[in-house]
Amino acid sequence: MKIGLWTAVALLVVLGTIFGAIWISHIESNKAAAVYPKCVGAHAGHKVLIENDKVVPQHTNAKRCDTLTITNLDNKDRIIAFGPHEHHVAYDGVTERYLTKNGTFSVTLVQPGNFRFHDHVDDVVQGTFTVSQ
């Protein structure tokens, strides 16, 4: 299969933009994470499942230094992003994470406050979490 020159150039520009944005957001989130003390010792783990286009549980209450693990059980790929749609913010060094079916990732809940995450492609799929001291 042949692809045209302009198609190849457009693909390279799109991929470069995506990876560049992820790299820059990773650097900025590491700066923000450095403000909070390191987590040491054992802490609770919280699990969130994405199934049938829903996040279960939709809200998680946790303490600082707990972990939050998000698993995609749907038959579609997801791009999980933190913050509101179109204005993503990094949490624990993660702004967006690509999840295939049965894909999973975890973040350490270092920053206290109220936060949200969503599927960037299907932003109806969303959840929230609160991190207390």
Model confidence over 11-37: pLDDT tens digits? Answer: 777 666 665 555 554 444 455 555 778
Per-residue pLDDT tens over the stretch 76-128 = 999 999 998 778 888 888 889 999 999 999 999 999 999 999 999 998 999 99
Per-residue pLDDT tens over the stretch 40-88 = 888 999 999 999 999 999 999 999 999 999 999 999 999 999 998 778 8
pTM: 0.72
3-state secondary structure of 26: helix
3-state secondary structure of 14: helix
How many domains would you assign to the chain? 1
Domain assignment of residue 14, given as a range: 5-132
Identify whether 57 is preceded by a cis peptide bond (ω within 30 of 0).
Answer: yes
At 130, list the tokens: 């609160």
Q: In what order do the strands lie in the sheet with 113-119?
A: 59-63, 126-132, 113-119, 78-82, 96-99
Give the CATH number of the domain where residue 23 resides. Answer: 2.60.40.420
* Contact between residue 69 and residue 45 where contact means Cβ atoms under 8 Å apart: yes
At 70, list the tokens: 């998000």
Q: Which residues have a Cβ under 8 Å from the Cβ of 23 and sit 6 or more positions away? A: none
